[in-house]
Chain A
């Protein structure tokens, strides 16, 4: 059975802190690893990682995949209150199937 595990489950930080969110996966026919941000509504896409060791960046967010360790991290630097959300990790397998983790709930205090 495909499985994605995220840690920590929740996190409270202060504005300006740097956070690292973790994701590990056990998926048959793995294709790629995706990160989403979910606020009040539908998840919004952040990154898709296919190649190991190549960092993807978007502003203060960055992510990297380690295929050897079957894991990925999402870094957020200089956090802002607008970063408060649930961050979801998902592993894509053949047939375009996505298996999601339970998410990390991040709260950024002013």
Chain B
């Protein structure tokens, strides 16, 4: 089925480790973004991309890197994991011309940093 695929679904990291959360979409969407969701905080934007080769920071970018070498993929890198990065991470994509469906979200990655 077409959509946004996130891997892994669950991950436990030790403080200081690095890792990459993967996000891929097969809808040819120009816009992709990463959010983190913490209890009582809603979804907060980490980084976003309006197209291949273009990325920008969102509300909470510190400690994370992104790149967009292809339209399909938008990986999120944690450089040196900290307990404050324990959260649920969602990747989303959209097409700016889409007046009907808004964003499509991946199923999320639950990350725990110990």
Contacts and interface: CB of A to CB of B under 8 A. Distances in A.
A96 B43 contact: no
Contacts of A41: 107-108
A45 B108 contact: no
Interface in A64-110: 88, 90, 92, 95-103
* Band of interface residues on A: 20 to 34
A42 B100 contact: no
Most central of A41, A42, A95 by chain B CB within 10 Å: A42
Given A97-B45, A102-B42, A103-B42, A50 B106 contact: no
A102 B105 contact: no
A39 to B, nearest CB: 12
A34 B92 CA distance: 14
A56 to B, nearest CB: 11
Interface in A25-68: 32, 34, 41-45, 48, 50
State the majority secondary structure of interface residues on A.
Answer: strand
Contact of A34 (B33, B58, B103, B106): B103
B102 A34 contact: yes
B94 interface: yes
Counting chain B CB atoms within 10 Å of each CB, the highest count among A4, A43, A101 belongs to: A43
Given A95-B50, A97-B48, A48 B99 contact: yes
Given A42-B108, A98-B33, A102-B40, A92 B45 contact: no
Contacts of A50: 99
24 contacts: A4-B42, A34-B103, A41-B107, A42-B105, A42-B106, A42-B108, A45-B104, A48-B99, A48-B101, A88-B43, A92-B102, A95-B96, A96-B30, A96-B31, A97-B45, A98-B43, A98-B45, A99-B45, A100-B35, A100-B42, A100-B44, A101-B42, A102-B40, A102-B42
Interface of A: 4, 32, 34, 41-45, 48, 50, 88, 90, 92, 95-103
